[in-house]
Amino acid sequence: MDELDPEVLSRRQQAMWHPWKADDMTRGLLGQLVGLAMMAASWSEMSSQVTVRGELTWLNLGVVGLLVCGVSNTIWLLQGRRNVGTARVLVLPDPQPRNDAAAVAGPDARVVVKAPGVTMYHRPGCPLIAGKPTVARGARHGRVPCQVCQA
């Protein structure tokens, strides 16, 4: 995974002012050109048709060209989103999760943890709250950890 190497990314970031590589740009441009050519051919050939059937045949080609352009645009945006996401993770790694429960009691299985937006309580090592900010709660009566914790 050469592209995930921070040094490679660093050099690439210095050289590029947009998140797309040359391959992405070529692919996007090619997709647009193919789609546009299909639409142009559709429009051009349709003008010489005199029957509905003949026009619809060439209209289908135009619709396919429009779809090609749409797919090309989607791939372009998804690739850009992916490259930005990769760069964001490398430049701004997620902070270490603040695990109050671990600080209070370590991996004590009797301490349960409540995370904001999470409905159930979890033990400190539960994978369902990995990376999420948590608040330690005492193992009072009525607080039951999730089923993953119990397994």
Partner 1 sequence: MDIVKWLRNQWDRAAAIAAVGFGVVALILGYLGVSRSTLATQQIPYLASGGLAGLFALGLGATLWLSADLRDEWRKLDLIHKDIRLRQVSATNGSGLIAASKPRAHRTRTAVDG
Q: Contact at 8 Å (CB) between 140 and 121?
A: no
Rounded Cα distance between 94 and 89, Å, is 7
Per-residue b or e along 34-52, where b marks 16 or more CB atoms closer than 10 Å to that residue's CB: ebeebbeebeebbeeeeee
Rounded Cα distance between 104 and 100, Å, is 6
Rounded Cα distance between 4 and 12, Å, is 11
Both tokens assigned to 14: 């210095």
Question: Binding mask 3-22 vs partner 1 (x if CB under 8 A, - otherwise)?
Answer: -------x--xx-xxxx---
Rounded Cα distance between 45 and 6, Å, is 52
| Binding to partner 1 in span 79-118, by CB under 8 A | 80-81, 83-84, 87-88, 91-92
Out of 47, 96, 119, 150, which residue is the one contacting partner 1 (CB under 8 A)? 47
Contact status: 48 vs partner 1 (CB under 8 A): no
Q: Give the residue with the Cβ less far from partner 1, 76 or 121.
A: 76
Contact status: 65 vs partner 1 (CB under 8 A): yes
Segment near partner 1 (CB under 8 A); pick from 35-43, 94-102, 115-123, 138-146: 35-43
Residues of this chain that interact with partner 1 (CB under 8 A) are 10, 13-14, 16-19, 35-36, 39, 42-43, 46-47, 49-52, 55-56, 58-59, 62-63, 65-66, 69-70, 73, 76-77, 80-81, 83-84, 87-88, 91-92
